[in-house]
Amino acid sequence: MTQRRPGVALNVVMLGPPGAGKGTQAERFARTHGIPKISTGDILRDAVRSGTELGRAAKATMHAGRLVGDDVIIGIVGERLELPDTRPGFVLDGFPRTVPQAAALDSLMTGRGPLVIVEMVVPEEVLLRRLGARRICGSCGVNAPIEWITACGNCGGTLVHRTDDGEGIVGERLKVYHRETEPIVEFYSGRPTFRRIDGNQPPDAVTAAMDRAICEASAPAKEVRL
């Protein structure tokens, strides 16, 4: 298991297309290391529910049927990273999604220690198969890992297929990823804390590979200043 050195946070960004397994692996790593997993979906729901200024802006945008803009997302993530539970580190799942968001994250990381970026690589035919079979909890909305057979391990709700994993939608989602999110890989790939792992393995093997990659990337010789 990755060991966190005293005073040095484990700050991790998960990259990869839909179906790569980012959420599952981020949840595992966060739970094992006692740091929060932060997803933009969760952040948006929490911000809207709590009625913050940024949450109200996000709610108005979503109700108008538009994508939440970079400025709102960056502001919400910035608010989340100010909470004390992120001091030992965090795992970001779903942020950044654009190069401007990635650049803003660099600014948010000032004084917080190194940022480790993990890209999960999975063949597209495997992604299509996974997305077609993926399920979520119909009650709390959490993504279901493979070990959950019929019921949600979080709240006991019934597992259902995601509406955005339909056959016609999946291909479009992958196209959007290649067009809008892959440039982030280029943004990060030259950094000494960037790691690429094979996500087309059994979940436990991916977990072990991710842990090794983060351990190596967060070693003292790899630390960089942004």
How is 163-184 classified by DSSP, letter by letter?
GGGSHHHHHHHHHHIIIIIHHH
Higher pLDDT, 23 or 141: 23
pLDDT tens digits for range 63-114: 665 667 888 889 889 989 999 999 999 999 989 988 999 999 999 999 888 9
pLDDT in tens, 147-185: 676 788 889 888 886 554 455 566 777 887 778 778 999
Domain hosting residue 28, numbered range: 10-124+182-220
CB 20 within 8 A of CB 119: no
* Residue in 179, 112, 131 with CA at minimum distance from that of residue 23: 131
Note whether residue 71 is domain-resident: yes
What pLDDT score was predicted for residue 19? Answer: 84
Q: Average pLDDT of the chain?
A: 83
**Which amino acids are annotated catalytic?**
22, 97, 134, 162, 173
On whether residue 172 sits in a domain, the answer given is no
167 is a domain residue: no
Q: Would residue 165 count as lying in a domain?
A: no
Q: Residue 7, SS3? A: coil
pTM higher than 0.85: no
Judge whether residue 128 has pLDDT over 90: no
Task: Report the pLDDT averaged over residues 43-59.
Answer: 77
Point out the least confidently predicted range of 21-25, 56-60, 215-219.
56-60
In a domain, 191, yes or no: yes
Structural domain contains residue 175: no
Residues 6+ apart with CB under 8 A from 107: none
The predicted pLDDT at position 64 comes to 63
Residue 108 maps to which CATH number?
Answer: 3.40.50.300
Q: Is residue 28 part of a domain?
A: yes
Domain membership flag for residue 110: yes
Q: Count how many domains the chain has.
A: 1
Residue type, position 22, single letter = K
